[in-house]
Amino acid sequence: MAITRIHSGGEFEPQIGYCRAVVANGWVHVAGTVGHGTTALEQCASALDIIGKALTEAGTDFAHVVRVTYMLPDRREFPPCWPMLRAAFGDNPPAATMIECGLITPEDRIEIEVTAVLPT
């Protein structure tokens, strides 16, 4: 089985020892991604952009995402992101989970992790 590792240049990738995404056996696993900005909404938009680039590099897109996990330190910041998330997934909504938890820095407001399949 061939494994492809996709790096995005994020500051924590070399520090922690991970990559943005791994493609293996028809699956694309995208690591938890925090975007740039100060609000959950700004970080959500940026994270989706970073994830979209990783999916494209892997050979897939948001229409092929089958699972998404949202992690936020304050669940009250999640509802403003919903329209952006609906737009990203369109007519192909994945199974989803939202977890309220601490993130790697206090400035991080939302982290998004997805699993997708490669188109056949």
What would the pLDDT profile of 57-94 be if each residue is shown by its tens digit?
Answer: 999 999 999 999 999 999 999 999 999 999 999 999 99
Please give the pLDDT value at position 11: 81
Whether 42 and 33 have beta carbons less than 8 Å apart is answered as: no
Domain boundaries, the chain: 3-117
Q: pTM, whole model, 2 decimals?
A: 0.94
Q: What is the torsional sign of CA 116, 87, 53, 32?
A: negative
3-117 fold: 60s Ribosomal Protein L30; Chain: A; (3.30.1330)
CA distance 3 to 22: 7
User: Does the structure show a pLDDT above 90 at 20?
Assistant: yes
Q: With bands split at pLDDT 50, 70 and 90, how would you rate the model's confidence at 9?
A: confident
Q: With bands split at pLDDT 50, 70 and 90, how would you rate the model's confidence at 16?
A: confident
